[in-house]
Amino acid sequence: MSMRKPYPSDVTDEQWELVGPVIAAWKARHPSVSGHQGKYAMREIVNAILHQNRTGCQWEFLPHDMPPPGPVKYYFYLWRDEGTDQDIHDLLRWQLREKRKRLADPSLVVLDTRSVHAAVGVPATTTGRDAAKRVPGRKRCLAVDVLGLVIHCVVLPASAHDNTAGIALLDGVAEQCDTVTKALVDQGFKNKVVEHGQNHGIDVEIVERNPDDRGFVPQVKRWIAEQTNGILMFCRRLVRDYEHRPASSRSRVLWAMTSVMSRRLTGTTLTSWKTA
């Protein structure tokens, strides 16, 4: 850790003990041909990624006392493409579930989608318009467990139907967790998703809204997906989709949840930008 004054988004020593070993193992698998260990500490690279996630700043606006944009970009994209961000995320998810006296992998998931506006400059070929919600941009699709932890994430054009999102999520869940036997979805998902779930041995239940309810009424168990989406909104980089590639948008979700889970595991908090 450098001698600079820490930012609220920085990982603490306890949090780095959770994340650091994965990064160290990755580093050991990628030795420099010249034997050079790199100019910037891996912990500072992670701090820069988390800082950008939380504050929403552009690459060129990273603070001067952090590594410059070039190396931070390099590692962000490399870890995205090699799945290192997923490895860190999954390890913390398993640890947090076990800390909550649950098995490492869940038996039930909740599927949900949220359409977010795309920033100017995001390629039109990867975006669309959600006609129902009148949102031009991308659709962030999540499968979460009963603790609100992300099991799988898919990013699609906002014009994609919820059936497309549901099928992609079920495929990802089945690939990662062979323990899942049930999925809860809202009425935006149709029978096509139910039928696809049967192919994976997953019972998909469409949770219908009580017609007598007025306004927002949380649905039992399904509300946890809404809570996770709300937590992600504390990261300004996720309030709008700024990424040119959907894979980068997905990586942002993984890093956001990594920050959340590392804090829960170590009992630390981070002030919300909505509070004074």
Q: Which residues of 147-180 are buried (b: 16+ CB within 10 A; e: fewer)?
A: bbbbbbbbbbbbbbbbbbbbbbbbebbbeebeeb
Beta carbons within 8 Å of 268's beta carbon, 6+ residues apart? 12, 14, 15
Beta carbons within 8 Å of 271's beta carbon, 6+ residues apart? 8
Alpha-carbon distance of 202 to 195, in angstroms, equals 9
Domain residue ranges in the chain: 104-243
CA separation (Å) from 182 to 166, 197, 201, 203?
13, 9, 8, 5
The structure's pTM equals: 0.92
**pLDDT by residue for the chain (276 residues), tens digit each?**
457 899 999 999 999 999 999 999 999 998 877 666 678 999 999 999 999 999 999 999 999 999 999 999 999 999 999 999 999 999 999 999 999 999 999 999 999 999 999 999 999 999 999 998 899 999 999 999 999 999 999 999 999 999 999 999 999 999 999 999 999 999 889 999 999 999 999 999 998 776 666 665 566 678 899 999 999 999 999 999 999 999 999 999 999 999 999 999 999 877 665 555
| Domain boundaries 104-243, CATH class | alpha beta
Alpha-carbon distance of 61 to 235, in angstroms, equals 16
